[in-house]
Amino acid sequence: IPRGICSVLWASRLSQRQSLHTGNAYITQNPDESLEAAKRDTHFAVKDNIAARGLPTTCASNILAGQEIPFSATIVQQLQRRNLTVIGKTNMDEFGMGTHSTASAVGRVSNISPIEERSAGGSSGGSAVAVSAGTTDLALGTDTGGSVRMPAAYTETVGFKPSYGMISRWGVVPYANSLDTVGFIAQTVGEIESVIASVRAEHDLRDPTSLTQATRERCMAQERQVPPSVEQRKGEWLRGLTFGIPIEYNIEELDPRIKAGWMQCAQKIRDLGGRVVPVSLPSTKNALSAYYVIAPAEAASNLSKYDGIRYGKRAEGATTDALDGVLYAKTRGNGFGPEVKRRVLLGSYTLSSKAIDNYFIQAQKVRQLVRKDFDRVFKLSNPLCDEAPFDLSEMDESISLENKLGPTQVDFIISPTAPTPPPRLEDVAKQTPLDSYMNDVFTVPASLAGLPAISIPMDIPVDTTSEEEKLLNFGGLQIIGQFWDDMTLLAVAQGLS
Ligand code: GLN
């Protein structure tokens, strides 16, 4: 049984239900819910940084141990209105900061048998294992820089990050607001598609980054038609689509097995009649660095509220009398784990007056270049950019030439989700923070640009007699689409699954 914040609440129930133990996936189980397989399709699991009334929301952090948020997040309410009930809250990297779900105050998540000594990915690793172990068909996660796609790739599940602003973040504990999205993990694309199809029209007044009703209607009016049946999605329709392979994604660190799987997917698309062409996304090489400046900067700002006075569990023995910082230092020192502290330090530094120009401001510029790279290669234009009045005279020449001209116009981009198969947890423990950040190299560009992206299971051609290697003949294929092309992206993902 996980050393849990609420172990008393659910220990007795858990003892009979092995599946909930699996991989330390859950932090809290909803005591009102049972886990009978027959009801599986009416449940969903919720990452522990998303509020669900009646259950604690701890973000897998000691600073929020036992904390309840007295309302449910909009997305939880939306699913409840569709007759789904919360089965439990899932384990994660503390505040969403991590790539392997090993940075949790209640113990790490691990993959399911027979590769349980492997990383389940992060930060929504608990949600991914909850799905891959069969305890639920749908789990909510959050994706700031890859946190639903990475766990999906490591657990052979489907992980979807919608366009930024489509799904309300009200009731989701912020990590890096300009990047955070609610994400979805499921066994199949179909489950996710039905949710997105119905909730994407709903604006949320309580979330200032939720796209307005007018923008939603305009975007929906421009949506492409997708064929309803799976057969059609594998057939004729795919012949009209072009897929880009970004040449910059062929990095040195790419594991040859993952590369072989990626190329096999490209071939499969060609066999089905789709076009596959190389594209160039030159700013990709700076995307990871920009992400690891912007995300910690926003995190440092967000987490400053956990001071033991207004928010967060005060360290024992610390009193408000001490104006010398003891209360802060003790509370934050005890309450946050090492990765969170690292991000707070990093973010505070890059926002400091001496460093901001060289780091934070540069990173914002890189972010714009990353978005422009995508806009240049996609056939569809970005509906958010259409909104601005288009005045050629104001446009700097380099932008007009570089961004809109060029022969390659693609519908989607395909890449691996992660550069390697799921690593051993013992190797993860030896990684430096930088090694771990490197894993996010393929997922952060879509996050910086706010684009929809999905990870679906990808077969790896096996060329080995090793039994262990054969267990790992999967990875994740990432498909990235233009802003608000989520429904087409999901249809394509289903066609390629
Ligand atoms: N691994 C990335 C990070 O640690 C992404 C996390 C996320 O998407 N929440 O920031």
pLDDT in tens, 91-138: 999 999 999 999 999 999 999 989 999 999 999 999 999 999 999 999
| Total Cβ atoms within 10 A of residue 150 | 35
Q: What is the pLDDT of residues 216-245, one digit of tens each?
A: 999 999 999 999 999 999 988 999 999 999
Token output for 468: 């262990």
pLDDT above 70 as % of the chain: 88
Model pLDDT, residue 30: 87
Three-state SS string over 215-273 comes to HHHHHHHCCCCCCCCHHHHHCHHHHHCEEEEEHHHCCCCCCHHHHHHHHHHHHHHHHCC
Distance 176 CA to ligand 1 centre (A): 9
Distance 6 CA to ligand 1 centre (A): 25
- Atom in ligand 1 nearest the alpha carbon of residue 97: 4
Token output for 269: 């698309």
Distance 342 CA to ligand 1 centre (A): 13
Per-residue pLDDT at 387 exceeds 50:
no
Show Cβ contacts of residue 33 under 8 Å, excluding neighbours closer than 6 positions.
43, 85, 86, 87, 88
pLDDT above 90 as % of the chain: 79
CA distance linking residue 268 with residue 262, whole number of Å: 10
- The 474-481 sheet, strands edge to edge: 26-29, 85-90, 43-47, 138-143, 181-186, 158-161, 453-459, 474-481, 412-416, 242-246, 275-279
- Atom in ligand 1 nearest the alpha carbon of residue 436: 1
Show Cβ contacts of residue 220 under 8 Å, excluding neighbours closer than 6 positions.
200, 201
Q: Which of 93, 94, 127, 177 to mutate to test the pocket of ligand 1 (most atoms within 8 A of CB)?
A: 93
Distance 59 CA to ligand 1 centre (A): 13
Q: What's the residue count for the chain?
A: 497
CB-defined site of ligand 1, < 6 Å: 96-99, 123, 142-147, 175, 295, 440
Whether 154 and 478 have beta carbons less than 8 Å apart is answered as: no
- Atom in ligand 1 nearest the alpha carbon of residue 144: 8
- According to DSSP, the residues that pair with 65 across neighbouring strands are none
Which residue's alpha carbon is nearest to atom 10 within ligand 1? Answer: 97
More confident residue, 402 or 370: 370
Output the furthest CA–CA distance in the chain (Å, rounded): 72
Distance 144 CA to ligand 1 centre (A): 6
Q: What is the chain's mean pLDDT, rounded?
A: 89
Whether 443 and 477 have beta carbons less than 8 Å apart is answered as: no
Q: What is the pLDDT of residues 302-360, one digit of tens each?
A: 999 999 988 999 988 877 665 666 888 899 999 999 999 999 999 999 999 999 999 99
Which residue's alpha carbon is nearest to atom 5 within ligand 1? Answer: 145
CA distance linking residue 346 with residue 365, whole number of Å: 19
Q: Known catalytic residues?
A: 47, 123, 147
Q: Angle, nearest 10°, between helix axes 74-81 and 189-199?
A: 100
Specify the residue for token string 């970004």.
246
Say which range, 21-25, 260-264, 429-433, has the weakest mean pLDDT.
Answer: 21-25
Q: Which of 59, 95, 124, 144 to mutate to test the pocket of ligand 1 (most atoms within 8 A of CB)?
A: 144
Model pLDDT, residue 327: 87
Q: What is the pLDDT of residues 32-68, one digit of tens each?
A: 765 554 466 689 999 999 999 999 999 999 999 989 9
Q: Which of 440, 443, 455 to mutate to test the pocket of ligand 1 (most atoms within 8 A of CB)?
A: 440
Q: What is the mean pLDDT of residues 203-218?
A: 97
Q: What is the mean pLDDT of residues 164-187?
A: 98
Q: What is the mean pLDDT of residues 204-218?
A: 97
For residue 207, count CB atoms less than 10 angstroms from its CB and return exposed for 0-12, middle for 13-18, buried for 19 or more: middle
Model pLDDT, residue 167: 98
Q: Which of 99, 127, 288 to mutate to test the pocket of ligand 1 (most atoms within 8 A of CB)?
A: 99
Per DSSP, the residues of 143-184 read ESSSTTHHHHHHHT-EEEEPPTTTS--TTB--SSTTT-EEEE
Model pLDDT, residue 14: 37
Show Cβ contacts of residue 451 under 8 Å, excluding neighbours closer than 6 positions.
163, 164, 374, 480, 481, 482, 483
Q: Between vectors from CA 262 to CA 258 and to CA 263, what angle results, nearest 5°?
A: 120
Nearest to 471 by CA among 117, 135, 159, 102: 117
CA distance linking residue 284 with residue 280, whole number of Å: 9
Distance 485 CA to ligand 1 centre (A): 23
ipTM above 0.95, yes or no: yes
- Atom in ligand 1 nearest the alpha carbon of residue 296: 10
Distance 142 CA to ligand 1 centre (A): 9
First to last CA, the chain: 35
Per DSSP, the residues of 413-433 read EEEESSSSSPPBHHHHHH--H
- Atom in ligand 1 nearest the alpha carbon of residue 339: 4
Chain mean position to CA 134: 20
